[in-house]
Amino acid sequence: MIASLLLIPLTFYGCVPQSSIQDGFSIYLTRDDIPVSRMQELSNWELADKPVISIDDIVSYTGDTHEIELTADAYERVTTMRVPTSGKSFVVCANKKQIYRGAFWTPLSSQSFNGVTIWVYPSLHEGNVIALELGYPSPGFYQGKDPRSNPEIFQSLEKAGKLK
């Protein structure tokens, strides 16, 4: 009887969605698919209901290169995403707090971009790896402070055992 009572909290704990315990590092699309050209106009964006990349989708994150090794499913989801040549806005979050913005970008675009990008194109890296890059088509198009090494992001990745 006593043993049964002690197991009840563990049973309910297992029913709590993991995301309500700790969201960790995640990348969200914007709720209304805000155009990249409007990125600077808004101070806080409404996020889509679910992240496009969650902490559970990440195998590892290399801090000095900002390369993210994804699970096979997440990699396919990202690299097959439909991205216009003007980009697709995203928000990088740590524990649901918006840290910085960027855009998924296609290497087929002829437009430059002054922001953080994830190039949606398979085979740019070995394995199931994507990278958070500065500027498009090269880092020379980026101006400003690099937001990718934010301590809150690294803390959430380290806490989840994903930071290399």
Burial 116-134 (b: 16+ CB within 10 A, else e): bbbbbeeeebeebbbebbb
pLDDT of residue 125: 67
Report whether pLDDT(124) > 70.
no
pLDDT category, 40, cuts 50, 70, 90?
Answer: confident
What's the mean per-residue pLDDT of the chain?
Answer: 84
| Residue 46 and residue 31 in contact, taking contact as beta carbons nearer than 8 Å | yes
Q: Which residues have a Cβ under 8 Å from the Cβ of 107 and sit 6 or more positions away? A: 119, 121, 124, 137
Q: What single letter denotes the amino acid at residue 123?
A: S
pLDDT category, 23, cuts 50, 70, 90?
Answer: confident
Q: What value does the mean pLDDT take over residues 153-163? A: 96
Comparing CA positions, the residue from 68, 73, 81 lying closest to residue 120 is: 81
* Residue pLDDT, tens place only, 127-157: 899 999 999 999 999 999 999 999 999 999 9
